[in-house]
Amino acid sequence: MNIESIGAYDFANPVWASTTQGTSTSASFSTLLVDGAEHVDEAVRTSNAAVAAFALNADVPPHQVMLALEDARLQLQFALQVRSKLVEGYQELMRMQI
């Protein structure tokens, strides 16, 4: 995603819908985690680029910068929630007695 595409976000087809529709069961859990982390990283880089362009007085409207920042913030929060659920699940497995 680049700065020009910040305002052209397709709300009707969010990213998570395109990754879950029509996929086979061969996608491994680790692949999904890595793809999600890469997507979050891309959103953070896009928001950093939007802030830098805005700070350098490029023709980037402030609302596009705020949308990019909010998108990156929400994706990071979601990633942290997934991480904490994974840690909780791991801890629960470690507490199980065999």
> Within a domain: residue 75?
yes
> Within a domain: residue 43?
yes
Provide the residue range defining the domain that includes 82: 26-95
> Within a domain: residue 16?
no
> Within a domain: residue 68?
yes
pLDDT tens-digit profile of 8-50?
555 455 555 555 555 555 789 889 989 999 999 999 999 999 9
Tell me which of 94 and 23 has the higher pLDDT.
94
**How many domains in the chain?**
1
CA nearest neighbour of 43 among 5, 85, 17, 83: 5
> Within a domain: residue 58?
yes
> Within a domain: residue 87?
yes
- pTM beyond 0.75: the answer is no
Contact yes or no for 6/68 (Cβ under 8 A): yes
- The pLDDT value recorded for residue 85 is 96
pLDDT tens-digit profile of 48-80?
999 999 999 888 899 999 999 999 999 999 999
